[in-house]
Amino acid sequence: MTGMVGGVRAPAAGGTLAVEERVPDDIRVEIPPRYCPLPCAVHPDADGLNARAAAWVNGYGLCRDGVQRARMTGNDCGGFYGRILPRAPAGRLQIAVDWCVLMFAFDDLHCDEGPASMRADDFADFATRLLRVLGAPGAPGAPGTAPDGTVDPFLAAAGDLAVRCRAQGTPVQVRRMVEGHRGWFRGVLWEFGCRLRGRTPWLDDYARMRQHTAAGSATFSWAEVVDGEEIPEREMASPAVRALRELAFTTAAFDDDLFSYGKERWLAARSEHSNGCRLNLVDVLIEERSLSLAEAMEEAVALNNRLTARFVRLRDQVSPGASEPLRRHLEHLSALIRGNLEWGLRAGRYTDPDGRHPGAVVTTGSLTETAPPAGPPGIPSVSWWWDRL
């Protein structure tokens, strides 16, 4: 039996996948075939984007050497955004790649790993300062200022991004960028609550929150800035476009759970801070449905296949009547789903779990042309994606 503690499920006896004390040095994960009939291309200047982003972030004293530099290089942010916007002018795309480098470092140091993953108060303090820098880069004392008056390199770099965003984007795009980060940080605080209780969330809650914890809106706010032309609010706020964005963000985030599973297992076995909380789709399914690891992987992929198919059908309904800016946005959402798969299976972020053990995790996957069943997957919080839109 399971019980509820503050809206988060208490672990069922024998139902949680316990990470073994003696996890091997190398971990192999095989993902069942994914249905993803979407195109994929890579920006021709992906390597150059990475090099310029490294020089930019190094200029603030960040990720210059050692483990941080290895992890930054392995993240391949140029390859990530270069798959979402493969035809964008490199000069405009650079701002998104720079942001990606900075925010992966922020995520690793302040959100997900080690002692920081349990310090919600430190995160909340830093996140509010970061939001202020993004929202008001010219405010006295805001850009780059830490509580003790010193210059914080993360905040200083974020201030530069905020200034560049205002130069490159419209006021509405800037507002969407800031609101995207606000939503991301709220999602991360929800994750802190789960960890501090030592409880794995229900699938319905996890599905509702995953697009936020994965920074979906924050990530895509930069895609609109790179494109240039503003998407009309009447289109962006429509139920069908909202559903398409949520579908794409959640699908990509669930795929992240698949190809980060080996990394999380490797790190948890070596961490002093691991507890009963599991924030990964596979582990949520194992606990809630008492599945084996293989069964949970199958269920997770079946869910993502269904989400992908729904995205394609709804996109094809919306695209004919969309404005040109929205049509480009829908193309980028399509590229996110497929491109994220291609990037995630290769990124050193997941194959080198801590920046010191390259190749410690090997994750393999394949594609299938077999379409999944239609209809919602029985998760109440996301069932509206199948409503008449």
- Token pair listed for 152: 């914080």
The band of 3, judged by pLDDT with boundaries at 50, 70 and 90, is very low
The verdict on domain 4-386 having CATH code 1.10.10.10 is no
Report, as an integer, the average pLDDT of 245-268: 94
- What local confidence, expressed as pLDDT, does residue 267 receive? 85
Which residue, 188, 170, 152, is CA-closest to 62?
Answer: 152
What is the C-alpha separation between 164 and 168, in angstroms, rounded? 6
Out of 8-22, 237-251, 254-268, 278-292, which region has the weakest mean confidence (pLDDT)?
A: 8-22
Q: Answer for the pair 219, 332: CB distance below 8 angstroms, yes or no.
A: no
Mean pLDDT, the chain, whole residue set: 87
- What local confidence, expressed as pLDDT, does residue 147 receive? 60
Share of residues in the chain with pLDDT > 90 (%) = 68
Residues 206-210: contacts with CB under 8 Å, at least 24 apart: 206/279, 206/281, 206/284, 207/250, 207/379, 207/381, 207/382, 208/381, 208/382, 210/249, 210/250, 210/253, 210/254, 210/257, 210/281
Strand partners, 363: 29
Q: Answer for the pair 326, 235: CB distance below 8 angstroms, yes or no.
A: yes
Report, as an integer, the average pLDDT of 226-255: 97
Q: Tell me: the pLDDT tens digits for 306-326?
A: 999 999 999 999 999 999 999
Q: Is the dihedral of CA 190, 162, 247, 43 positive or negative?
A: negative
Share of residues in the chain with pLDDT > 70 (%) = 87
Name the residue ranges covered by the structural domains of the chain. 4-386
Which residue, 247, 250, 258, 245, is CA-closest to 33?
Answer: 258
- What local confidence, expressed as pLDDT, does residue 140 receive? 54
Residue found under tokens 């483990």: 67
What is the C-alpha separation between 187 and 60, in angstroms, rounded? 27
What is the C-alpha separation between 224 and 173, in angstroms, rounded? 7
- What local confidence, expressed as pLDDT, does residue 261 receive? 95
- Measured in degrees and rounded to the nearest 5, phi and psi for residue 368 equal -130, 150
Task: Give the count of alpha carbons within 13 A of 290, CB side only.
Answer: 6
- Burial (CB count <10 Å: 0-12, 13-18, 19+), residue 276: middle
- Residue 172 vs residues 91, 117, 139, 198, 225: alpha-carbon distances, Å: 21, 33, 19, 39, 10
Bigger pLDDT: 167 vs 73: 167
| Residue 274 in this model has a pLDDT that exceeds 90 | no
Bigger pLDDT: 205 vs 72: 205
The one-letter amino acid code at 371 reads A
Q: Answer for the pair 361, 264: CB distance below 8 angstroms, yes or no.
A: no
Q: Tell me: the pLDDT tens digits for 321-337?
A: 999 999 999 999 999 99
Roughly what angle, to the nearest 10 degrees, separates helices 293-318 and 324-344? 160
Roughly what angle, to the nearest 10 degrees, separates helices 216-227 and 239-259? 120
| Residue 71 in this model has a pLDDT that exceeds 60 | yes
| Residue 4 in this model has a pLDDT that exceeds 50 | no
- Token pair listed for 45: 């200047």
Q: Is the dihedral of CA 88, 90, 95, 96 positive or negative?
A: positive
Residues in the chain: 389
The band of 81, judged by pLDDT with boundaries at 50, 70 and 90, is very high
| Residue 201 in this model has a pLDDT that exceeds 60 | yes
- What local confidence, expressed as pLDDT, does residue 122 receive? 84
- What local confidence, expressed as pLDDT, does residue 167 receive? 95
- What local confidence, expressed as pLDDT, does residue 290 receive? 96
The band of 114, judged by pLDDT with boundaries at 50, 70 and 90, is very low
- What local confidence, expressed as pLDDT, does residue 148 receive? 65
Which uninterrupted H or E stretch holds 127?
helix 120-135
Q: Tell me: the pLDDT tens digits for 131-171?
A: 999 998 766 555 555 566 677 888 999 999 999 999 999 99
| Residue 70 in this model has a pLDDT that exceeds 70 | yes
- What local confidence, expressed as pLDDT, does residue 282 receive? 97
- What local confidence, expressed as pLDDT, does residue 273 receive? 65
